[in-house]
Structure 1
Amino acid sequence: MTYRIYGGNPSPYSRKLRAILRYRRLPHVWKAGTPETLPEIAQVKPKLIPVLQLPESGELRVDSTPLAYLLEQRHAERSIIPPGAAEAFLCHLLEDFADEWLTKLMFHYRWHEDATALWASHWIVSDAIPSATGKVHDQMAKMFHDRQRGRMGMVGCTPENAPVIEASYARLLDILGPYVGGQHYLFGSRPSLADFGIYGQLSQLVIDPWPQRLCRERAPAVEAWVITLDDASGVDGEWKPERGAAVREALLEMVGAEYLPFLLANAQAMEKGEKEFSVRIRGRGYAQQPFAYQAKCFADIRRRWAELPAEARAGLEGVMEKTGCLGYLQ
């Protein structure tokens, strides 16, 4: 029973799903999204990567988070969801934070600086269109470079928002740097979905020249941790939630101070039909256009909180209040 995953090495979500398949020791074939393979997934909508093909039916599915949960349902061995209801909720919240907030860090650091943007555009074209060489390659790289830079404002990666984004990256490195390494993951000595979500964004940040340099200067252990998680098929660990409590709390403080205020403002703007919203994050202004998908993420987080068993929810209320998350969940 072999899965097929269509994706790209410069895609944080493709790397996230591939790392999950590797850790879970699930047989799979990695198919780069090249002109030769794209017809195989042409019917898939929305047109996102990664695309996972199920082995029995050949059905094609998208969206890395639902795909991770699908694999969880299909395979009991080497689970990536902590067994307790409270820890499972925290795991989902931190993974969502990585997918929807830390991706802004990845996009900003990839396209803001000229030299890194130039490097990234050539890497992406080499990965997606390996047959292109010489002038054809250069033309495609320039076209992709210009397109991605033109999208920066749409996703909030503007010069005005740069101080918020860059401070967030520095804070993330400061939190993870002293902790990660070896078998130190967020819920014990084995990786969780939250670890893989953070890994996905960092898999790009520790490759692109500008953020890689910052990581090596500020928290070199983080790059080594990312390299380990890229293929953690040899990791045999245990769930030990007490081990990562301090680093989880520090990450939850980021969620409460940065991500949840952003999600609330986005959801309110969607409800009002506004074309742009602004929010104060750690005393700084942040503005962008609203997105329906992130409004769905906020609603899903609140639903999961409301559906927690009363005992699990009560056990989390202290840390959620301390980190500034609680008011956004109720």
Structure 2
Amino acid sequence: MSVPTVSSEGRYRLVGSTASPYALKMRAILRYRRIPFDWVIMTPALRAETAHLKPNLIPALRYPDGTWRGETTTLAHDLETRHRERSIIPEDPALAFLCDLLEDMADEWAVKPLFLYRWWDPEDQDYVSRWAAEEWSVFEEEAGSEAEREAMRRRQISRMPILGATAENKPLLEESYRRMLAAIEPHVGLNRFFFGTRPSLADFAWYGQLNEMATDPTPMRIMRAIAPKTDIWARRLDDTSGVDGEWWPLDKVLAGAAGDLLALAGELYLPFLAANEKAFNGGLERLRITVWGLDYALAPFKYQVKCLTTLRDRFCALGAPDRSRLEPVLRRTGCWPILAGEGA
């Protein structure tokens, strides 16, 4: 099979699947920023062409010069240096940091209930495996075939303990999903986003996860029952190329979804990252946390140690005035000690 080439000079080529929250995130960013690109579903030939990327995951972005790059956070920030128009990073450094924190929470935590719901119940397993088998060619079987569908189902179910989708962790993952929806639901609407009347990198990260959960059977029913505005908002973010808007000041941002999600970061996400770091650095087999009276245990991951280090580095890189502006809310939400490395 021949590999598609860049269709015209100056265009990017985004390779992914609509079953991937990270591919949807990247596609929505490119659409909003009006950066010329072609959307291509992953094929075995394209997977071979991107094999040098480590890890070789979707999405992969082919630049106009023919080079391939991956990892959506890195890609989003790199595109900021190459394309000035319609930035997705707030101009205020304090807000830019909060945007990074909320993006990271979407990428590294919101995906956990998504993975649990996708592969826990037979109804969801059947739905998602059929969908992914059509678009996510990682096996030798014919794309979309019953054999590939079953191979996908078995592969993902086998990864559930590795990614923490276990009976022990299920209550906390389900509760965190409900609390994430409760944080977002009162604040979103037509042209109302986390940091203003224009979408940010954090909005697109949450969109990627929420759009998948607005589609998969079990989390879809939950979302439509308790967060109907979020359900519509997540779908709208698929293409915001026609949206223009402004960034809000810090006080208005904190009164909205970003403020409520920041509280969840202090209660759940940053304690998880801190426990992961402590377990990894201490050579422990498992990290353990209890949040809202619910237990969570998982083998520590090196990548999420990097996530916490990056957040701390970005926090420390803020000027003293910006850290001072953020200190009251970060202390109130419990984020400050972990970000500042107090007691680490």
TM-score range, shorter chain: over 0.9
Alignment partners' CA distance in 2, 1:223 and 1:127: 23
**Secondary structure of the residue that 1:178 maps to in structure 2?**
helix
Greater mean deviation of Cα atoms: 269-278 or 62-71: 269-278
Alignment of 1:165-180 (within 5 A): 165-180=173-188
Distance 2:279 2:296 in 1: 14
> What is the deviation of 1:244?
3.3
Q: Which amino acid aligns with 2:277?
A: A
The alignment status of 1:154 with 2:162, answered yes or no, reads: yes
Does the CA contact (< 8 Å) of 2:14 and 2:27 recur in 1? yes
* Counterparts of 1:107 and 1:294, CA distance in 2: 17
Task: Give the % identical residues.
Answer: 45
Of residues 57-66 and 124-133 in structure 1, the stretch that sits farther from structure 2 once superposed is: 124-133
Aligned counterpart for 1:121 among listed residues 129, 150, 161? 129
Do residues 75 (structure 1) and 111 (structure 2) align? Answer: no
Give the number of aligned pairs.
327
1:84 aligns with 2:92: yes
Tell me which residue corresponds to 1:315.
325
Is 1:65 aligned to 2:73, yes or no? yes
Provide, for residues 69-119 of structure 1, a one-character-per-residue CA deviation record: whole Å limited to 9, x for no partner. 001111110000000010000000000000001110110111111111111
* Cα offsets for 1:259-301 (capped at 9, x unmatched): 0111011011111122211111222211001110000000111
Aligned to 2:31: 22
The SS at the match of 2:44 is coil
In 2: Cα distance, 1:254 partner to 1:248 partner? 10
2:276 touches 2:287 (CA, 8 Å); kept in 1? yes
Please tell me the residue identity of whatever aligns with 1:161: N
Aligned to 2:294: 284
Tell me how far apart the structure 2 counterparts of residues 208 and 164 of structure 1 sit (CA, whole Å).
19
Using the size of structure 1 for normalisation, the TM-score is 0.96
Where in structure 1 are there 5+ consecutive unaligned residues?
none
Greater Cα offset, 35-44 or 167-176: 35-44
* CA distance in 2 between partners of 1:41 and 1:263 (Å): 30
CA deviation digits over 1:238-264, x for unaligned, max 9? 112344322222101100111011101
In the TM superposition, 1:296-315 aligns within 5 A as 296-315=306-325
Within 5 Å, give how 1:1-330 maps onto structure 2: 1-55=10-64, 57-129=65-137, 132=142, 137-241=145-249, 242-246=251-255, 247-330=257-340
- When the two chains are superposed, the root-mean-square deviation of aligned CA atoms in Å is 1.5
Partners of 2:258 and 2:46 in 1: CA distance: 40
Shift of 1:132: 3.9
Relative to the length of structure 2, the TM-score reads 0.92
For 1:11 and 1:228, locate their aligned partners in 2 and report how far apart those are by CA, in whole Å. 17
Contact 1:31 1:37 in 2 (8 A): no
Q: Any idea what SS the aligned residue of 2:18 has?
A: coil
Between the aligned partners of 2:331 and 2:137, the Cα distance in structure 1 is 49
Letter in structure 1 aligned against 2:173: I
